[in-house]
Amino acid sequence: MQLIGTIYGEVKPTEFEILLINPNIERGSYVKIDHEQYGWVLSKIDTIRRYISAEDQEITLAKAHAIAYKGEKSILVPKIPFKPEERVYLGDRKLIRQILGLKKSKTNNIYLGLLEGHNLTVYLDVHKTINKHISVLAKTGAGKSYTVAVLLEELLDKGIPIIIIDPHGEYSSLNYENDDLESMEKYEIKPKTYANKVTEYSPDIVVNPDAKKLAIQPRFTLYELIEIMPMRLNDVQKSIVYDSLKRLEGKEYSIQDLINVVRMDDRRTKWKVINGLETLRDSGIFEGKAVTEEELVKKGHASIINLKGLEPKIQQLVVTKIARDLFEAKKLNKIPNLFFLIEEAHNFCPERGFGEAMSSNILRTVASEGRKFGFHLGVVSQRPARVDKNVLSQCNTQIILKITNPNDLRAIGQSIEGFTPGMENDIRQLSVGHALVVGECVEQPITVDIRTRKSRHYDAARFTPKKELEPGMIDKIKPIFLKEEVKPTKKSYWDKFKSIFLKET
Ligand SMILES: Nc1ncnc2c1ncn2[C@@H]1O[C@H](COP(=O)(O)OP(=O)(O)OP(=O)(O)O)[C@@H](O)[C@H]1O
Ligand SMILES: [Mg+2]
């Protein structure tokens, strides 16, 4: 046992100070103290300060709080203070694991990384981690996608079917081995490719030539169709769309069939509707054979839905259709339990006041009802304040990396039970790749140094598609939402600048 100091001054049941004799103790370290009634109690160092005393001696004092001890049946919080001047030792692995609820072996558990400040592997129970949904939240660049990829590798290793909503096309790097061997040593892992466990789909195979074509079935609700029309429809046009969809109800139809039905309408303003539908038809996103739910959701397999290059409304349409179809299929038990990950969740289920998305409804439904059916959600965002609170608060496990924005911190505080100012402070100070893990998978919030990936992390500069573009592909997929025309000004900004500031002499 390594003695690190003694309790100093007044002691409260869970708050006290330690006079440190070991200068190498870090903030966040776990220590243990033998309590006369409870036995070993695990405690954590919150802050450390050093100063010169009146007797001219250097003093190192730490503020700490008692976490818990192992009672007969469960983990309990001490109610009686420690004896003043009691000895304090560095926490040992067994006690730390026991009190924090960390698993001992990697079999059937998620290997997330190392407990910060201790060379102790963090293995989490798979089901407790994902069953009641999980969120991964952090400011941009703090390591969300990296952490998510570690989670995905672990879930794939355990055979859990995964759907990845990937707006930036970054998860296909699971296909390649990580070549950063040096950093793998610390975490004792080996490079691995997931190429035979991953299929990448995209509605736009021009931008994403390595992906399989994902065709969207043109089965719309009135709301969806109005949302994705390339122009705003007036009330008469909306009623034309409504009547036409009604006539096709229960039938298999293509966009062309819908156009033909609209043509039969007597109202003159139908031409604008027809024009919009033709733009949708010619975009190419509805072309091709639809992928079945059984193809998308398979044991030990991840389907990446690469949305790179698609306009936001079409991205939302794809997410709506896939989430809705899979949720229906899951309710009927046509597919196995699955993990459904959404990157940039603030774009697919925004909080009120931060935009609208047609995918909000189904994602809210999945968040509140999904767990009953084995439809497990993973919500990833760099702007937690902009994610629908109904969705965020349903996530029982939170992996939070560095966040500094006060609104985002507030949103996190509101969605976590027992969130403390101390936790908020910890989140502000996290380093890249370090995460606070909160939820049922741990007895206490813990800070994890997330392990290195086995597969390569996406780096846009290093990534080149394997396939060449086939001739004619470019013509197939066309933009749907036409950008507003920018009228050329008579003089460009540069010309004006030159004429004012760089007058030739
Ligand atoms: N656990 C980690 N181990 C090693 N490097 C990491 C780790 N986490 C993050 N990084 C580094 O930080 C960079 C940014 O991480 P990542 O791409 O996950 O950020 P992000 O939070 O998803 O950002 P964005 O909001 O822009 O998507 C990575 O390219 C990687 O170099
Ligand atoms: Mg990212």
Asked if residue 504 is part of any domain, the answer here is no
- Whichever domain contains 93, its CATH number is 2.40.30
pLDDT digits (tens, 9 = 90+) for 38-77: 999 999 999 999 999 999 999 999 999 999 999 988 899 9
H or E segment and range at residue 181: helix 181-187
Residues 305 and 387 in one domain: yes
Task: Give residue 64's pLDDT.
Answer: 96
- Of the candidates 109, 117, 71, 111, the one whose C-alpha atom is nearest the C-alpha of residue 90 is 117
* Ligand nearest to the Cα of 458, by number: 1
Asked if residue 47 is part of any domain, the answer here is yes
Higher pLDDT, 345 or 207: 345
Quote the ligand 2 centre to 142 CA distance (angstroms).
8
CB contact set of 497 (below 8 Å; sequence gap of 6+): none
| Banded pLDDT at 306 (limits 50, 70, 90) | very high
Residues 87 and 130 in one domain: no
Domain boundary among 450, 474, 498: 450
Domain boundary among 405, 435, 450: 450
Residues 200 and 232 in one domain: no
pLDDT digits (tens, 9 = 90+) for 407-457: 999 999 988 888 888 889 999 999 999 999 999 999 889 999 999 999 999
382 lines ligand 1 (CB under 6 A): yes
Q: List 435's β-bridge partners, or say none.
A: 448
The ligand 1 atom at the shortest distance from the C-alpha of residue 113 is: 1
Specify the number of domains making up the chain: 3
171 lines ligand 1 (CB under 6 A): no
145 lines ligand 1 (CB under 6 A): yes
Domain boundary among 241, 266, 284: 284
Quote the ligand 2 centre to 384 CA distance (angstroms).
14
Instruction: Using the predicted structure, report yes or no on whether residue 342 has a pLDDT greater than 90.
Output: yes
Residues 334 and 426 in one domain: yes
Residues 74 and 58 in one domain: yes
What region, left, alpha or beta, does residue 432 occupy, with left being phi > 0 and alpha being psi -120 to 50 degrees? beta
* Ligand nearest to the Cα of 461, by number: 1
Instruction: Using the predicted structure, report yes or no on whether residue 105 has a pLDDT greater than 50.
Output: yes
Task: Give residue 205's pLDDT.
Answer: 86
Instruction: Using the predicted structure, report yes or no on whether residue 330 has a pLDDT greater than 90.
Output: yes
**Strand bridging mode 162-166 / 434-438:** unpaired
Asked if residue 179 is part of any domain, the answer here is yes
Task: Give residue 465's pLDDT.
Answer: 62
111 lines ligand 1 (CB under 6 A): no
| Banded pLDDT at 479 (limits 50, 70, 90) | low
141 lines ligand 1 (CB under 6 A): yes
Task: Give residue 472's pLDDT.
Answer: 54
Task: Give residue 462's pLDDT.
Answer: 61
pLDDT digits (tens, 9 = 90+) for 138-177: 999 999 999 999 999 999 999 999 999 999 999 999 999 9
Asked if residue 349 is part of any domain, the answer here is yes
Quote the ligand 1 centre to 54 CA distance (angstroms).
47
Asked if residue 502 is part of any domain, the answer here is no
Average pLDDT of the chain, as a whole number: 89
The ligand 1 atom at the shortest distance from the C-alpha of residue 142 is: 21
Asked if residue 486 is part of any domain, the answer here is no
Instruction: Using the predicted structure, report yes or no on whether residue 469 has a pLDDT greater than 80.
Output: no
Average pLDDT over residues 274-301: 88
Residues 124 and 91 in one domain: no
Q: Whose CA is nearest to atom 6 of ligand 1?
A: 433
Task: Give residue 314's pLDDT.
Answer: 87
CB contact set of 444 (below 8 Å; sequence gap of 6+): 67, 68, 99, 100, 101
User: Can you tell me the distance from the alpha carbon of 342 to that of 391, in angstroms, rounded to the nearest whole number?
Assistant: 12
Give the range of the structural domain holding residue 276, as residue numbers without chain letter: 222-284
State which residues have CB under 5 angstroms from ligand 2, the bound ion.
144-145
CB contact set of 305 (below 8 Å; sequence gap of 6+): 163, 164, 165, 166, 201, 202, 214, 318, 319, 322
H or E segment and range at residue 75: strand 75-76
Average pLDDT over residues 224-246: 90
Quote the ligand 1 centre to 426 CA distance (angstroms).
19
Asked if residue 485 is part of any domain, the answer here is no
Which contacts of 155-158 are long-range, i.e. CB under 8 A and separated by 24 or more positions? 155/110, 155/126, 155/130, 155/339, 156/194, 156/197, 156/198, 156/300, 156/301, 156/302, 158/108, 158/110, 158/126
Residues 264 and 293 in one domain: no
* Ligand nearest to the Cα of 382, by number: 1
Q: Whose CA is nearest to atom 11 of ligand 1?
A: 143
* Ligand nearest to the Cα of 401, by number: 1
Indicate the pTM of the whole model. Answer: 0.87
The ligand 1 atom at the shortest distance from the C-alpha of residue 170 is: 17
| Banded pLDDT at 474 (limits 50, 70, 90) | very low
Residues 402 and 439 in one domain: yes
pLDDT digits (tens, 9 = 90+) for 180-233: 999 999 999 999 999 999 999 998 888 888 999 998 888 888 888 888 888 889
Residues 310 and 426 in one domain: yes
Residues 298 and 408 in one domain: yes
Asked if residue 421 is part of any domain, the answer here is yes
The ligand 1 atom at the shortest distance from the C-alpha of residue 459 is: 29
The ligand 1 atom at the shortest distance from the C-alpha of residue 146 is: 18
Quote the ligand 1 centre to 432 CA distance (angstroms).
7
The ligand 1 atom at the shortest distance from the C-alpha of residue 382 is: 25
Paired tokens of 109: 């558990």
Instruction: Using the predicted structure, report yes or no on whether residue 468 has a pLDDT greater than 70.
Output: no
- Whichever domain contains 143, its CATH number is 3.40.50.300
Instruction: Using the predicted structure, report yes or no on whether residue 236 has a pLDDT greater than 80.
Output: yes
Higher pLDDT, 276 or 227: 276
Residues 226 and 273 in one domain: yes
Q: Whose CA is nearest to atom 9 of ligand 1?
A: 143
Task: Give residue 11's pLDDT.
Answer: 95
Residues 304 and 269 in one domain: no
